[in-house]
């Protein structure tokens, strides 16, 4: 266990950051799964934009590597572009 005041503070801040990072990674994964579950272009575009915004935010804040976010966005774009438009 830590003895110094600064080490104790580090333990507290690390646990807080860990919770925040875990929450945002979970949100990202959920949005990506939602995009892959869709079958219609209109819904896909809306959810896709939301997922890309979250990926960009996470890459900017350093929660995931920049290339990781780029790779995920590329795969999502490819998937959404392959969706068909719903006809009435």
The predicted-structure confidence for 49-62, as pLDDT tens digits, reads as follows 999 999 999 999 99
Q: Residue 87: inside a domain, yes or no?
A: no
pLDDT band at 88 (very low <50, low <70, confident <90, very high): low
Dihedral sign (CA 32, 36, 38, 41): positive
More confident residue, 70 or 43: 70
Tokens of 9: 């503070």
69-88: average pLDDT: 88
CATH number, domain of 65, equals 1.20.58.110
- Domain-embedded: residue 88: no
Q: Which residues contact 85 (CB under 8 A, 6 or more apart)?
A: 40, 41, 42
pLDDT over threshold 90, residue 73: yes
Cβ atoms of residues 35 and 72 within 8 Å: no
Category of 51 on φ-ψ map: left (φ > 0), alpha (ψ -120 to 50) or beta: alpha
For the chain, the domain total comes to 1
Q: What pLDDT does residue 2 have?
A: 82
Instruction: Give the CA radius of gyration of the chain.
Output: 18
Which of 6-10, 18-22, 39-43, 82-86 has the weakest average pLDDT? 82-86
């Amino acid at each position: 266990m830590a003895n110094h005041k600064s080490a104790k503070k580090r333990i507290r801040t690390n646990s807080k950051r860990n919770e925040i990072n875990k929450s945002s990674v979970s949100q990202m994964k959920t949005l990506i799964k939602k995009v892959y579950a869709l079958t219609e272009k209109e819904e896909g575009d809306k959810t896709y934009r939301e997922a890309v915004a979250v990926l960009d935010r996470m890459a900017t804040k350093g929660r995931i590597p920049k290339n990781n976010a780029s790779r995920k966005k590329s795969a999502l774009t490819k998937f959404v572009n392959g969706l068909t438009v719903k006809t009435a």
